[in-house]
Amino acid sequence: MNTRSLRDAIRAVIIDLDGTLLDTIPDLAAASNAMRVDLGLPPLSQQTIARYVGKGAEILVHRALTDSLDGRVAAEHFERGMAAFHHHYERENGRHARLYPGVAEGLAAMRALGLRLACVTNKPQQFADPLLVRAGLAPYFELTLGGDALPRRKPDPLPLLHVGERFGAPPAQTLMIGDSSNDARAARAAGMPVLVVPYGYNEGQPVSSIDADGVVESLLQAADWIAAR
């Protein structure tokens, strides 16, 4: 029998998209490199672009154009780059993205536990929604919030708190699952427990550096973690 108080039981789960549900680097790299070519720059390696993913399309464009985690381009170059990235990503979104092992099984197990599921990503809503549909994951989620759905995005806690309010689940009963410090910082600021997966992006940093309540090898293992509470 579960020894924890029922008030601590997880009722809702918020899950990141890129690097947690799906490996989207091939699509993002193709769009980023097509953007760079449009602006007269040579392509970058897929491994390099993987380090630049995690804080939304705008930051990815800045990083991809400067080939730097901290790089920023002038406004006129950013506008051209952003328009080019959107144009190319419309074509690439979901073409080569792949589910990570245990994702479908983990989501099904969480639903079987009676959990309410939301996907919260910094990817623009116009790309997040069709990607989940193409991957066959949309039916698992009651709510999907893209990075432009609210005034602030992760690592701000606003999207996570919004989900909790919509689901009627207090922070202590709402679990965040992600692959980066961005996800963990948002969860901590929201007062929510957080698990991280080791296979995502996290800007090239090890997940051991993340302030989280645990590392799970898959979403199926995350479902087991929840069931054991």
Q: Give the residue numbers marked as catalytic.
A: 16
What is the SS3 assignment for 184? Answer: helix
Residue 190, Ramachandran bin (φ over 0: left; ψ between -120 and 50: alpha; else beta): alpha
Question: Which one, of 115, 123, 121, 213, lies nearest residue 159 by Cα?
Answer: 121
Yes or no: say if 177 and 197 are a contact pair by the CB < 8 Å rule.
yes
Q: Which residue has the tokens 């994951």?
A: 137
Say which amino acid occupies 65: L
Task: Name which of 228, 188, 205, 185 is nearest 19 in CA terms.
Answer: 205
Tell me how far apart the alpha carbons of residues 184 and 180 are, in angstroms, rounded to a whole number: 7
Please say whether the beta carbons of 219 and 106 come within 8 A.
yes
Cβ 192 vs Cβ 211: under 8 Å: no
